Amino acid sequence: QKEVEQDPGPLSVPEGAIVSLNCTYSNSAFQYFMWYRQYSRKGPELLMYTYSSGNKEDGRFTAQVDKSSKYISLFIRDSQPSDSATYLCAMNSGGSNYKLTFGKGTLLTVNP
Amino acid sequence: GAVVSQHPSRVICKSGTSVKIECRSLDFQATTMFWYRQFPKQSLMLMATSNEGSKATYEQGVEKDKFLINHASLTLSTLTVTSAHPEDSSFYICSAPSGSVTDTQYFGPGTRLTVL
């Protein structure tokens, strides 16, 4: 079993839809959880960061962490064509100087 | 957010030559930087951890003599692909922890290497 599982998609939705992206993990030592957005041929861009169970909201984005189920989610409200990208979940056990473990990434396309 | 730059953004070289890629933290210092490799439609694969003032730590299966890493200062790490071959063609990305309260990592824009 891989440490982090993420459905690679692809996921295609109409503009304005609510998007739900998910990752599961097996390592209970993971304490810090991140979502990155990566446009084609670009470096990943940090979207959301959280270190506790619960919800964190930033504009149209909501990150949700359930440590008891080892499950994290990213919700995108009112999705826009500019949200079309690959979304990567990442996590580690000890903060910034510790290696990140990534999911495979989910390719999202928002159709106008 | 913190800014990490990479240079060059693209490089094409002949088989057998060496290529150096630079990773810089522009507005913060980083004692640790990470180097990743990404093949098309795949996730990032960590290659090595670059440590300022000491040797890099390589992941299992990564040839340290082929991928030379030098962390010359608190804002610069370099990755040199030695005797490059076509199978080394890939997207190379570095990251650095910002050291801020968000305690996470920021990525450079990546370098696309093509070996002919």
Kindly tell me if the per-residue pLDDT of A34 is higher than 60: yes
Rounded to a whole number of angstroms, the distance from the CA of A16 to the nearest CA of chain B is 26
Residue that wins the pLDDT comparison between A100 and A95: A100
Q: Which residue of A has its CA nearest to B42?
A: A104
pLDDT at B104: 75
CA distance B115 to B4: 25
pLDDT at B42: 85
Q: Above pLDDT 70, what percent of chain A?
A: 96
Chain A residues with CB inside 8 Å of B91's CB? 41
Q: Above pLDDT 70, what percent of chain B?
A: 95
Chain B residues with CB inside 8 Å of A4's CB? none
Q: What is the pLDDT of residues A50-81, one digit of tens each?
A: 888 889 999 999 999 999 999 999 999 999 99
Picking from B37, B104, B106 by the largest number of A CB atoms within 10 A of its own CB, the best residue to mutate is B104
Q: What is the pLDDT of residues B57-110, one digit of tens each?
A: 999 999 999 999 999 899 999 999 999 999 999 999 999 987 654 567 889 999
Mean pLDDT (chain B) is: 91
Picking from A6, A46, A56, A86 by the largest number of B CB atoms within 10 A of its own CB, the best residue to mutate is A46
Q: Above pLDDT 90, what percent of chain B?
A: 73
Tracing tokens 């989910």 back to the chain, one arrives at A106
DSSP A36-103: EEE-TTS--EEEEEE-SSEEEEETTEEEEEETTTTEEEEEESS--GGG-EEEEEEEESSSTTSPPEE-
